[in-house]
């Protein structure tokens, strides 16, 4: 793999040198071409080292102990929260550590259903109570993580699920739905994990505000790939995962405006989230502790802090520029292959760096197999966005997705692989 200076100005040779896994080979000795960063990204040495240093020198249960190790571990854990807060334009106490974005979205959904059972709750939580007639709004392009929790919330509260449809180029169709006075939540992906379309956040926030609904942003595919300021976006909640942004698995973040977190009943309960416990009943600590029951993912938070350092040193604007460049190359080269159809916007306006496509006459699984045989790792299937695929009348797409270590040369191999697949299957 020759890793040259990228047009975006990134020193790719240096960056790639930080990621040990990128130098391995797969199948019969082929260099790994990892185009599956949308599923999970790889980790640089700096993240691995930060976690290891923490574990070899400071590891202890945080927010519990009074000995020196416990102090140091707590400091490191909270320092990571502060770093992440800075990255996304939030206050540290607005961030809750979760195991992944999925848990973050579920946390919000369960806060609503827990608040809907009013016994024993303070009046504050009333604004989260739902009932028949209330509406939760999502979109048809959502990842299952931002759809199924809302379906289940509706099941539990008898609220109604409604959704925006999708345009032919894979964007949220703003004309397909009118919010109503009964709309309580509008939840959508900042960037689609399939079409890479970037949502019109300002417009959706405006509409939600107009009817007094809360906005939940699935920021899984935005925070890792572009500059995001959650306060400026004006959303109420946002969720993202560490493993997609060069950080560890097992850690994610839920952002919530202080005023809202303050008013929400807890989700997962247990140690370290309490104020006072009696057998007869308990009261709970202020956020973010209220939502971090049990011994947390300590070293993982520290690792995520190191990932934020790594990304910040590069600059999220340059990360975004680099990925747009990669998307341009992917769209250009795939566009020259007959029989390839892009699922998603075909130009770079309001679009991130993943490219999903189908190949006429060759099933995505078969295309993926041919690519895999050449060392190119892509994802095939519905990518946890089944309704989106159904909307386009297809079962599965091939998705290539990138991160800061991906090179133009790697992306160019996609089109070659697709041609090879067409040849192999005789179409």
Q: Would you call 274 helix, strand, or coil by DSSP? A: strand
In the range 235-274, which residues lie near other proteins by CB under 8 A?
A: 274
Binding status of residue 1 toward its own copies by CB under 8 A: no
Q: Which of 281, 355, 352 minimizes the C-alpha distance to 323?
A: 352
Q: How far apart are CA 22 and CA 208, in angstroms?
A: 43
Q: Convert residues 307-346 into a mask of x (bound to other proteins by CB under 8 A) and - (unbound).
A: ----------------------------------------
Residue 137: Cβ within 10 Å count: 26
Binding status of residue 158 toward its own copies by CB under 8 A: yes
Q: In terms of residues, how long is the chain?
A: 427
Binding status of residue 221 toward ligand PLP by CB under 6 A: yes
Q: Convert residues 38-77 into a mask of x (bound to ligand PLP by CB under 6 A) and - (unbound).
A: ----------------------------------------
Q: Between residues 290 and 328, which has the closer beta carbon with respect to its own copies?
A: 290
Q: Which of 217, 240, 213 minimizes the C-alpha distance to 128?
A: 213
Q: How far apart are CA 353 and CA 351, in angstroms?
A: 7
Q: How far apart are CA 9 and CA 408, in angstroms?
A: 12
Binding status of residue 143 toward ligand PLP by CB under 6 A: yes
Binding status of residue 79 toward other proteins by CB under 8 A: no
Residue in this structure with the two tokens 């989260």, named with its chain if needed: 128
Which region, judged by CB under 8 A, interacts with other proteins, from 4-12, 70-78, 218-226, 315-323?
Answer: 70-78
In the range 233-262, which residues lie near ligand PLP by CB under 6 A?
A: 241, 252
Binding status of residue 43 toward its own copies by CB under 8 A: yes
CA-based angle 270:256:277, to the nearest 5?
20
Q: How far is the CB of 368 from its own copies (least distance, A)?
A: 5
Q: How far apart are CA 383 and CA 295, in angstroms?
A: 31
Binding status of residue 220 toward ligand PLP by CB under 6 A: yes
Pairing status of strand 274-278 against strand 281-284:
antiparallel
Q: Between residues 17 and 372, which has the closer beta carbon with respect to other proteins?
A: 372
Q: Would you call 408 helix, strand, or coil by DSSP? A: helix
Q: Convert residues 198-237 into a mask of x (bound to other proteins by CB under 8 A) and - (unbound).
A: ----------------------------------------
User: Between helices 298-314 and 68-88, what is the axis angle to 10°?
Assistant: 40
Binding status of residue 146 toward ligand PLP by CB under 6 A: yes
Q: How many helices (DSSP H) and strands (DSSP E) are in the chain?
A: 13, 17
Residues with Cβ within 8 Å of 55's Cβ and at least 6 positions away in sequence, in order, are 299
Q: Which of 271, 282, 336, 360 binds ligand PLP (CB under 6 A)?
A: 271
Binding status of residue 48 toward its own copies by CB under 8 A: yes
Q: Which of 268, 295, 348, 420 binds ligand PLP (CB under 6 A)?
A: 295
Binding status of residue 423 toward other proteins by CB under 8 A: no
Q: Per the residue annotation, which of 358, 384, 396, 415 is the catalytic one? A: 384
Q: How many angstroms from the chain centroid is the CA of residue 143?
A: 10
Question: Does 384 participate in catalysis according to the annotation?
Answer: yes
Q: How far is the CB of 272 from other proteins (least distance, A)?
A: 8
Q: How far apart are CA 219 and CA 253, in angstroms?
A: 10
Binding status of residue 148 toward other proteins by CB under 8 A: no
Give the binding site for ligand PLP (CB under 6 A): 100-102, 143, 145-146, 189, 193, 218, 220-221, 241, 252, 271, 294-295, 384
User: Would you name the residues annotated as active-site residues?
Assistant: 384
């Amino acid at each position: 793999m020759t890793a040259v200076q990228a047009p975006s100005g990134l020193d790719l040779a240096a960056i790639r040198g930080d990621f040990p896994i990128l130098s391995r080979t797969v199948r019969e000795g082929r260099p790994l071409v990892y185009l599956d960063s949308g599923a999970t990204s790889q980790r640089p040495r700096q993240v691995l080292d930060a976690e290891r240093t923490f574990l070899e020198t400071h590891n202890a249960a945080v927010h519990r102990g009074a000995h020196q190790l416990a102090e140091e571990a707590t400091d490191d854990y909270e320092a990571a929260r502060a770093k992440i807060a800075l990255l996304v334009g939030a206050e540290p106490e607005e961030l809750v550590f979760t195991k992944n974005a999925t848990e973050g979205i579920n946390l919000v959904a369960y806060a609503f259903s827990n608040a809907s059972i009013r016994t024993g709750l303070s009046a504050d939580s009333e604004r989260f109570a739902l009932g028949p007639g209330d509406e939760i709004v999502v979109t048809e392009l959502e990842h299952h993580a931002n759809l199924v929790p809302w379906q289940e919330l509706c099941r539990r509260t008898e609220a109604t699920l409604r959704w925006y449809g999708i345009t032919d180029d894979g964007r949220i169709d703003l004309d397909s739905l009118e919010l109503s006075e009964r709309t309580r939540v509008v939840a959508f992906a900042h960037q689609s994990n399939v079409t890479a379309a970037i949502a019109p956040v300002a417009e959706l926030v405006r509409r939600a505000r107009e009817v007094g609904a809360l906005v939940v942003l699935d920021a899984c595919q935005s925070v890792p790939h572009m500059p995001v300021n959650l306060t400026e976006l004006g959303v109420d909640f946002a969720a993202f995962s560490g493993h997609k942004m060069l950080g560890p698995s097992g850690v994610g973040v839920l952002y919530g405006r202080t005023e809202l977190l303050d008013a929400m009943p807890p989700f997962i309960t247990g140690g370290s989230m309490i104020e006072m416990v009696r057998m007869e009943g308990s009261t709970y600590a202020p956020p973010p502790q209220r939502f971090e029951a049990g011994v947390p993912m300590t070293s993982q938070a520290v690792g995520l802090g190191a990932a934020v350092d790594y990304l910040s040193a590069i600059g999220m604007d340059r990360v975004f520029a680099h990925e747009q460049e990669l998307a341009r190359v992917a769209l250009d080269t795939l566009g020259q292959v007959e029989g390839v159809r892009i699922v998603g916007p075909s130009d770079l306006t309001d679009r991130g760096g993943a490219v999903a496509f189908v190949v006429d006459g060759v099933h995505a699984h078969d295309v993926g197999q041919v690519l895999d045989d050449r060392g190119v790792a892509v994802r095939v299937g519905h990518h946890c966005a089944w309704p989106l695929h159904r909307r386009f009348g297809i079962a599965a797409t091939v998705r290539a997705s990138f991160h800061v270590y991906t090179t133009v040369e790697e992306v160019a191999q996609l089109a070659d692989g697709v041609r090879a697949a067409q040849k192999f299957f005789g179409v």
